[in-house]
Every structure is written in C-alpha cells, then in structure tokens.
Amino acid sequence: MIHAENLTKVYRIADKDPGVAGAVKHLFRPRSKSKTAVKDVNFTIEPGEIVGYIGVNGAGKSTTIKMLTGILLPTAGQVRVLGRDPHRQRVANARDIGVVFGQRSQLWWDLALIESLTMVGRIYEVPDAHFKRLIDEFSETLELKELLRVPIRNMSLGQKMRAELAATLIHEPQIVYLDEPTIGLDLLVKERIRAFIKRVNEERGTTVILTTHDLGDIEELCKRVLIIDDGVLIYDGPLETIKQRFGKYREITFETAADLNGLLVPDGAELLTQSERRLALRFDRTLTSASRVSAAVMGQIEVVDLSLKEPDLSMVVKQIYQGGLKVVA
Ligand SMILES: Nc1ncnc2c1ncn2[C@@H]1O[C@H](COP(=O)(O)OP(=O)(O)OP(=O)(O)O)[C@@H](O)[C@H]1O
Ligand SMILES: [Mg+2]
C-alpha cells in the first residue's frame, strides 16, 4: 500500500550573517547550508495496518509524512502510495488519503463545523445520503453533536481535533496520516480519539500512519513501530519486541535530607546521575524491584522524596543504540 525506497530529504537553509550587512552580503553572495532530515529510509506498509512512527523532536517524522503525502518532493529515493507517485499524481492521490497535522488546522476558522464538513464533502463529491450517514456516525463516535453549529475559532483544542478528524475522514480515505493527533490534549480526549482511530481501522480497514510522542497512543493502537533518529530509521518491527527488550528498565529518583557521600549503589541498579542531594538510579525490573532498591538507599541515608519513572521514548531510543538492537533489514 505504501512503499518507501531509499527515501531522502535534504533541506537547503540560507546561511546568512546577522544584521543588515549580512543580508546585503547574502544578496550578492548567497551561501547555503544543507540539512539531511531523512536519510535512506526504506519500509513497506500493508493494507489495514496501524503503524506508529516515532522519534524525538527533529528526528524527521513530519518530513517523512510530507513526502508520503506528496507535499514535499524527495531529494532522492522514491515513494509509491497505492502504486502512484504521490507528488506527481497529487490529485488522484488526494482521493485516497487523509491527513491531520496536530499543530495546524485545515478547517475554515469562521465557519460552523457543519459548514466546513459540507464543503469538504462537496470537494470530494461525497453523495448526499452517504454524507448524512457519515455525519450521524461521526457525531456519535466523536461526540460532535453539540459542536456542529459552533465555528472552529470558538472550539477548545480537543474539540478542534475531533472536528479535524471528522473532516479528514468524510471522504473515507484508504490511508490516513496522523501527525501528532493527541498533542496537548487531556487524557479523556486522548482516549476518545484513540478509540475512534481504532474503530475506523477495524470497521473500514483504513491504513493508519501515526506519529506521536505519546507512548500511550502507540501502546493502544500500534502492533508495529518504526523509530527514526536523526533522519535514520533505527527500528522497524513489533512493539512487543521493544517492550520486552526495554520495558524492563525503570528509573527511580531520590531526594535526600543530607549530602550524598559514599553511597553504595544497590544490587541490580546502576547510577544515572548524582548531585548533592539528588540521586537517579536505573534498575532492571527482572533482577530487583523498586521497593528493594529504595530500601537499600533508605538504609543508608534519610530520603525526603522519591519518584519512579516509566521508560519514555528518549530512554528507549538511547537503549536501542546501547543495546545494538537488530533493526531494519
Ligand atoms: N522547511 C524546512 N527547512 C529547513 N529545515 C527543516 C524544514 N523542516 C524541517 N527541517 C529540519 O529537518 C529536521 C527534521 O524535522 P521534522 O519536522 O521532520 O522533525 P519531526 O520528527 O517531525 O520533529 P517534531 O517531533 O519536533 O515534530 C529538523 O532538524 C528540522 O529543523
Ligand atoms: Mg513533526
């Protein structure tokens, strides 16, 4: 359904000295730097998959999505979406895809939601009766009933995102690209959006590519993940493998009443950082437990506070490097 081969994007950035002098100089002698945002990325996505595309800020996720959707032309390599070149055959491609950029709205700011949806429906030539059925369905699954008459401008972030999803799916695309659809939303709205995505995938067989920083989104929706780091694909495989391999580590941080001198790191744990009255340890859950590690520390020094952290994305990425996980073929 989606096939990327040696996909590469190099941005050119003007390299100007600051101030007017710099601008004038640049006019006569333009210099530019280049930034490789995506480098030799290969993957294939099958119909009906929900794939998580993850990586830290600036890793190259949005750039990849923009090449897959045809917004950006790759510098090298190629993309095929349903057998087409998404950039050259943009119009044909547009019928089969839907895109949500969590940071940007595609709806008309001053129009009531129902008017926006009607416009989108007309653009994609959705038959009237079918359009009505879809509006009814989305009103229920996305809880939009009360919002249909409200202009987008007056909506909260979570309401806007639900409206955005409805607009993206009104022409029932075969593929949807969701670039951070849950960014900035509270847990309840996140849950609702995840449930909606899951349902669209199950009932309509829609293929979903999801970029997110929220590992909760990934855990609830994706069996397969791709991890990109500094433009390079460093993992393509089951989420389960990552969880088994890296889910076993936990971080625990202690604040102590007195300065930490000569503290012995408990068995099964390793030191991450240490300052005067603060200590961060990492331990392997299969070797020891949070209570044993904290008891060992408390036996040595008075602890005023402690916190336990679940592994987050940057930790996983770091560990993939350190652990040399066998990645992309
Ligand atoms: N239009 C542009 N011109 C020049 N450089 C760009 C442009 N867009 C992105 N970049 C650079 O390319 C790299 C990848 O950016 P991209 O937006 O793809 O990252 P991302 O993984 O989506 O990050 P985030 O999680 O912050 O959204 C970054 O270093 C960014 O600064
Ligand atoms: Mg991005």
The response to whether residue 60 sits with its C-beta less than 6 Å from ligand 1 reads yes
The response to whether residue 33 sits with its C-beta less than 6 Å from ligand 1 reads no
Is pLDDT at 15 greater than 90 in this prediction? no
Tell me the average pLDDT of the chain.
89
Q: Give the strand pairing for 175-179 and 32-45.
A: unpaired
What's the mean pLDDT in 93-119? 90
Look up the CATH architecture of domain 2-243: 3-Layer(aba) Sandwich (3.40)
Best CATH choice for the domain 248-310 from the list 3.40.50.150, 3.40.50.1000, 3.40.50.2300, 3.30.70.250:
3.30.70.250
pLDDT (tens digit per residue) in 151-181: 999 999 899 999 999 999 999 999 999 999 9
pLDDT greater at residue 244 or residue 134: 134
Is pLDDT at 19 greater than 90 in this prediction? no
Topology agreement, domain 2-243 and domain 248-310 = no
Among the ranges 39-43, 139-143, 189-193, which has the highest mean pLDDT value? 39-43
pLDDT (tens digit per residue) in 233-280: 999 999 888 877 777 788 899 999 988 888 899 998 999 889 889 999
Residue 172 CA to ligand 1 centre (angstroms) = 29
Q: Residue 329 — very low, low, confident or very high, per pLDDT cuts 50/70/90?
A: very low
The response to whether residue 104 sits with its C-beta less than 6 Å from ligand 1 reads no
Using a CB cutoff of 5 Å, list residues around ligand 2, an ion: 61-62
Is pLDDT at 81 greater than 90 in this prediction? yes
Mutate to test the pocket of ligand 1, among 8, 62, 65 (most ligand atoms within 8 A of CB): 62
Residues of the chain with pLDDT > 70: what percent? 95
Is pLDDT at 144 greater than 60 in this prediction? yes
pLDDT greater at residue 56 or residue 132: 132
Is pLDDT at 305 greater than 80 in this prediction? yes
What's the mean pLDDT in 47-53? 96
pLDDT (tens digit per residue) in 195-241: 999 999 999 999 999 998 887 888 899 999 999 989 999 999 998 88
DSSP 8-state symbol, 35: E
Residue 50's pLDDT is what?
97
The response to whether residue 57 sits with its C-beta less than 6 Å from ligand 1 reads yes
Residue 47 CA to ligand 1 centre (angstroms) = 28
Residue 212 CA to ligand 2 centre (angstroms) = 8
Residues of the chain with pLDDT > 90: what percent? 64
Atom of ligand 1 nearest to the CA of 13: 4
DSSP string, 240-300: HHHHHHHTTEEEEEEEESS---SPPPPTTEEEEEEETTEEEEEEETTT--HHHHHHHHHTT
Mutate to test the pocket of ligand 1, among 56, 57, 63 (most ligand atoms within 8 A of CB): 63
The domain ranges of the chain are: 2-243, 248-310
Q: How far is residue 319 from each of residues 58, 217, 235, 311, 315, measured CA to CA in Å?
A: 19, 21, 12, 10, 6
Q: How far is residue 216 from each of residues 34, 219, 247, 258, measured CA to CA in Å?
A: 35, 5, 13, 37
What's the mean pLDDT in 37-56? 95
Residue 311's pLDDT is what?
67
Residue 324's pLDDT is what?
56
The response to whether residue 61 sits with its C-beta less than 6 Å from ligand 1 reads yes
